[in-house]
A and B are shown apart, each in its own frame.
Chain A
Amino acid sequence: MRGYFDTLKVIVLIALRNLFASRLKTLIVGGIILFGSLLVVVGTALVDSVDASMSRSVIGSVAGHIQVYSAKSKDELTVMGSMAMETPDLTPIDDFAALRRTLLGVPNVKAVVPMGLSAAQVIAGNTVDVVLERLRALARRKLAGEDVQVAYESEKDHVRQIVTVLSAEVDNIRKIQSEKAISQDDLAAVVKAVSTEFWAGFDRDPYPALEFLENRIAPLASDADMLFLRYLGTDVDAFAKSFDRMKIVDGKAIPRGERGFLFSKWVYEQQVKLKTALRLDRINDGIKKRSQTIARSEELQRFVKQNTSEVKEIMLQLDGQKTASFRRLLQGELGSQENDVAKLLAEFFRVEDANFARRYRFFYDQLAPMLELYRVRVGDTLTIKSFTKSGYVQSVKLRVYGTFAFEGLEDSHIAGELNLMDMVSFRELYGFLTPERAREVQEIKTMAGVKEVSRERAEAELFGNKDSEAAPVGQAGRPVDEAEAALRSLAGRQQRADRASQSFDPTQLEQGDVLNAAVIVKDPRRISQTIKDIEAAGGKAGIPLHAITWQKASGLVGQFVTMIRAVLYISVLIIFAVALVIINNALVMATLERMPEIGTLRAIGAQRRFLLGMLLVEALAVGVLFGSIGALLGAGIVGVIHAVGIPAANDILYFLFSGPRLHPSLSPANVIISLGIVLVVSAISSIYPGLLAMRVSPRQAMQSDD
């Protein structure tokens, strides 16, 4: 054994000295290996860290560890990362209680959260409508003899102000585009609305004047009041418990057993907030978080430009008093003599890097308190209209209880695109027949004397066939035909007004349909086994289920890391393939150069394996030495990146990093993988030169003069 060790020693010695003798070649080969192992260490550390942080993001926000949905579904489920209006076409699972029982029977399952995903367009109050409504109320009280003169006059001023703003805008559009951009009718309406005669007659008979304003003027002032909302219907309580990164930002959580709506803070800011304020926020973020400057960033310049040209949004909100206050404040701030508030605002929003911070503060401290910063306020009632599965429009009025965000993901649109709604309202919007709904429909039907008509018999029923019989009345909860659906939708609307305050029985949550469910597991390492168990349990319980990992459920986002990983592995593969070829070539050349020496060694009694060992040691020595240096450098780089952190330059990175910065950490696995690859590549690359060396005949040592 000792002799063996001594032989190994001499092999290593020869190998090392050979390497040293051909330094340049060694350095080139070593450099490639060094770079390769550095790349592996840094790359895998980064990807692993992104993977870990992203999984925290995905699992902690909406997806949970596993998503479960009906195996009969047409589409695959993705719960996030899709900007499209369509939501996946899933077959509902009609008994959540049974589903939950089945899932909780699987050993690794900790919690189950019911879910349903949909999207809707929502009308949020038009400023003009709101103001006109207030004026109408005041006019009514004034006519009833109440003393509301001051408020009435102020509101009237406000409406006049709105009309003036609109008139200026109409003029502008006609100037900029063409005379025909505004129809003659609309033009006439605006001209009438600004006229002194119109307002002179207003007090005498306000109702026709108000009607005129509501019907002819308000539509012209539509200030982009359609909201596109994606929402998740769920058991809000269970949701908050299972996704503990969720926190309420404004307002409060939807109380148990209540219908209600929670805005995602991100959506609330981006879509509901006053655009001018949002743009100011964005400029502020650009400067504070991304070290941008207005002077150099085209994006920020665009925001400034939009703010200066779109002051109408603010102008519409100003009544007489506020107009005066704004004039006074802005004149003071700008040191201007200008009387036109629109011009003052435009001037105020023409910010530069030097004055931005001051104006930003001034806006929020002085101006914002007089404005409605959000089109929908916490406590308001939101009318959500959605197309049901069968295609008719369903609408539900829901109270906005507040806004929420996920801890650490506040700025991410991927985590923030979903709003929350109670499951019962979701079902209604989706078109499921809830028991109360079924009762309501039945009442209407009885009232209207409608009888159930099956599709097959429709013709006979309509055109009177003497053989026709009354079709049996269907039971509630059965699939409904379109006529009935339309009827239900129509009738439902009448009674929907006070839905917002309605509560529901918590057992209703349990017993209805869900589209999908998030599963939180006890041991995340056993996800794949748990998925199999869930599908098996579902099959046994007669609920055919698809269970997918959070990666799959998060759609493109979840595959992002897989993609990066693939790119990394491919580049590593290429680098090491190149390394393999180069090491191989270098060793082949070394072998050819050393043919006489190898022949000599063979002649004096070295077995073939000695030579093979020599080349292997040579390759491994280079691999280990430079691979270790590379891994060490890589570890150092990861350490530095860990200390400094990689800033999340955009929204997607913010989500992937699960926060504003990624602090990647090194695991032993990263280094072991790197050295492992290096060793394998070195060993493989010495095979062919080894074979060559083995074929060298000891005759090579002899002088051949024959």
Chain B
Amino acid sequence: MNHIVSVSNVSKNYNLGQVVVPALRGVSLDVAEGEFLAIAGPSGSGKTTLLNLVGCVDTPSAGTVTVDGKQTGLLGERDLTRLRLHTIGFIFQSFNLVSVLSVLQNVELPLLLQRALSARERRERVLALLDRVGIREYSKHRPNELSGGQRQRVAIARALVTRPKLVLADEPTANLDWVTGTNILNLMKELNQSEKTTFIFSTHDARVWAYASAVVRLADGQIQDRVSAEEAVRAGGLPTGRLV
């Protein structure tokens, strides 16, 4: 099995003035293509740091992070940006849509940055995707005219529009109510299966673990274990089974 992401013995320290705060300490993690991996842990456990390193928005203090065969520590700022643009899709906890652009324009934005497709091709792909996530009718709306769930659908469409190999989702359901969050997770899961896109998402909500193909549990900057969803749910003392 090919590893889309390979994290090897990674440490990350942040400098807060004179004090060096270790966020990750010797983390190693391989993610196979097509996984739907949850990274779990309480606040401050290093989830976001790990996601930043995998998402190429940060580089490790020690160890190596390899994304799609490229070792991020060896890349410059421009190449990292290019890697993000072409290989990774991002879904953020607060959706982070560009407020002055319409839904269609928001989703189209990464394609514009890529400059690979013609206007018509872009439009077709964006509309198909909006159809797929169920908000085609809102394509001309501005983000602030949409509900939280609809916005996250836009964000998902934006993350997937470049057909990335990897989608990173930072607490994608944290700002949504449970039902909406479940719908979003189902959508992500569906896309994971139909597009064979690898998903890595962070969450501190144990109920979400059930959707994952595997759960990596972080605590205090270190990986505690990597378990199946069932095990995780069991260990977390939550009922198994799908919630719809």
User: A residues touching B (Cβ–Cβ < 8 Å)?
Assistant: 2-4, 6-7, 10, 13-14, 17-18, 20-21, 596-597, 599-608, 610, 697-699, 701-706
Q: How far is the CA of A7 from the CA of B78 in the complex (A)?
A: 17
Contact B81 A703 (CB under 8 A): no
- Residue B206 at the A interface, CB < 8 A? no
Chain A residues near B101 (CB, 8 Å)?
A: 10, 13-14, 17
Scan B34-52; emit 1 where CB is below 8 A from any A CB, else 0: 0000000001111111011
Closest chain A CB from B141 CB (angstroms): 14
Across the A-B interface, how many residue pairs have beta carbons closer than 8 Å? 111
Closest 6 CB pairs of A and B: A605-B85, A3-B115, A17-B100, A698-B57, A600-B96, A703-B93
B residues 97-124 in Cβ contact with A at 8 Å: 98-101, 105, 108-110, 112-116, 118-119
Contact A605 B86 (CB under 8 A): yes
Closest chain A CB from B55 CB (angstroms): 7
Of B43, B48, B84, B86, the residue contacting A603 (CB under 8 A) is B84
Contact B81 A21 (CB under 8 A): no
Of A13, A18, A706, the residue contacting B105 (CB under 8 A) is A13
Contact B48 A705 (CB under 8 A): yes
Chain A residues near B105 (CB, 8 Å)?
A: 10, 13
- Residue B23 at the A interface, CB < 8 A? yes
Interface residues of B, count at CB 8 A = 46
Contact A702 B48 (CB under 8 A): yes
Contact A602 B52 (CB under 8 A): no
Chain B residues near A607 (CB, 8 Å)?
A: 78, 81, 113
Cβ-closest chain B residue relative to A10:
B112
Cβ-closest chain B residue relative to A16:
B100
Of A4, A606, A702, the residue contacting B92 (CB under 8 A) is A702
A7 touching B100 in the complex, CB below 8 Å, given contacts A702-B48, A705-B44: no
- Residue B230 at the A interface, CB < 8 A? no
Closest chain A CB from B219 CB (angstroms): 13
Contact A698 B84 (CB under 8 A): yes
Chain B residues near A4 (CB, 8 Å)?
A: 115
Contact A702 B170 (CB under 8 A): yes
A604 touching B90 in the complex, CB below 8 Å, given contacts A6-B115, A7-B112, A706-B49: yes
Chain B residues near A606 (CB, 8 Å)?
A: 81, 85, 113
Closest chain A CB from B95 CB (angstroms): 9
- Residue B158 at the A interface, CB < 8 A? yes
Q: How far is the CA of A601 from the CA of B81 in the complex (A)?
A: 10
Closest chain A CB from B53 CB (angstroms): 10
Contact B47 A706 (CB under 8 A): yes
Contact B98 A600 (CB under 8 A): yes
Contact B92 A701 (CB under 8 A): yes
Chain B residues near A10 (CB, 8 Å)?
A: 101, 105, 108-109, 112
Scan B113-141; emit 1 where CB is below 8 A from any A CB, else 0: 11110110000000000000000000000
Contact A702 B52 (CB under 8 A): yes
A605 touching B93 in the complex, CB below 8 Å, given contacts A698-B57, A704-B48: no
Chain B residues near A600 (CB, 8 Å)?
A: 90, 92, 96, 98
Scan B50-70; emit 1 where CB is below 8 A from any A CB, else 0: 011001011000000000000
Give the one of A18, A597, A604, A697 with max B CB within 10 A. A604
Contact B90 A603 (CB under 8 A): yes
Contact B112 A603 (CB under 8 A): no
Q: How far is the CA of A3 from the CA of B114 in the complex (A)?
A: 8
A699 touching B109 in the complex, CB below 8 Å, given contacts A607-B78, A705-B43: no
A699 touching B84 in the complex, CB below 8 Å, given contacts A3-B115, A600-B92: no
Q: How far is the CA of A610 from the CA of B159 in the complex (A)?
A: 19
